[in-house]
């Protein structure tokens, strides 16, 4: 991943900066992003990807670029933070969720609680974990495989 400044505008002591971000992947895929960093945080102004990004990938794009942008702005770990220039506020996109057996058990509890309330169990897992639908379905499958939920289909 590479980040380089495109331009910066200062108005009334407030800086707004644009950065070009390029993500390269081992399989030849590439994502080019024009990101705006201001006192309000980070926003994505333009995205070009080859091959095109799925909606799930687009949803986590900000997470992918947040760390390198923080470093480029001088707001990363170990930076002095002179008070000048843009600052990327630290944030976590999704709540902390335990891994392993404990996480699978909690997924199963969320799933069963939603079923008992008549709500969508997959959406309940999505809301609890902060993950996309695809990732929530994987977590539910892991809970089934671990024996916390009943099998989806009876094997013949």
What pLDDT tens digit does each residue of the chain (156 aa) get? Answer: 788 888 888 888 778 888 898 888 778 888 899 888 877 777 788 899 888 888 777 777 877 787 777 777 665 443 334 444 444 544 444 556 778 888 899 999 999 999 998 888 998 888 888 778 888 899 999 999 999 998 877 666
Token digits of residue 2: 């590479």
User: Is 156 part of a structural domain of the chain?
Assistant: no
Q: Which domain holds residue 17?
A: 2-73
Query: Which of 54, 73, 92 is the C-terminal boundary of a domain?
Result: 73
Token digits of residue 31: 């994502």
Token digits of residue 122: 């997959």
Return the closest-CA partner of residue 35 out of 22, 49, 51: 22
User: Is 92 part of a structural domain of the chain?
Assistant: no
Total count of domains within the chain: 2
User: Is 153 part of a structural domain of the chain?
Assistant: no
> Tokens 């390029």 belong to which residue?
22
User: Is 63 part of a structural domain of the chain?
Assistant: yes
pTM > 0.85: no
**Beta strand extents in 25-113 (DSSP E only):** 30-38, 41-50
Query: Which of 35, 57, 73 is the C-terminal boundary of a domain?
Result: 73
User: Is 87 part of a structural domain of the chain?
Assistant: no
C-alpha to C-alpha distance for 26 and 29, rounded to whole angstroms: 7
């Amino acid at each position: 991943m590479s980040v380089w400044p495109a331009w910066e505008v200062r108005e009334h002591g407030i800086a707004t900066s644009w950065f070009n971000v390029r993500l390269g992947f081992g399989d030849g895929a590439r994502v080019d992003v024009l990101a705006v960093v201001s006192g309000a945080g980070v926003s994505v102004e333009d995205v070009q990807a080859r091959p095109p990004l799925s909606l799930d990938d687009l949803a986590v794009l900000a997470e992918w670029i947040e760390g390198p942008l923080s470093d480029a702005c001088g707001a990363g770990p170990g930076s002095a933070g002179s008070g000048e220039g843009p600052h990327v506020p630290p944030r976590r996109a999704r709540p902390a969720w335990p891994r392993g057996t404990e996480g699978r058990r909690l997924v199963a509890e969320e799933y069963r609680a939603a079923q008992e309330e008549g709500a969508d169990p997959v959406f309940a897992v999505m809301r609890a974990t902060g993950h996309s639908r695809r990732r929530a379905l994987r977590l539910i499958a892991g809970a089934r495989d671990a024996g916390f939920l009943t099998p989806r289909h009876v094997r013949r």
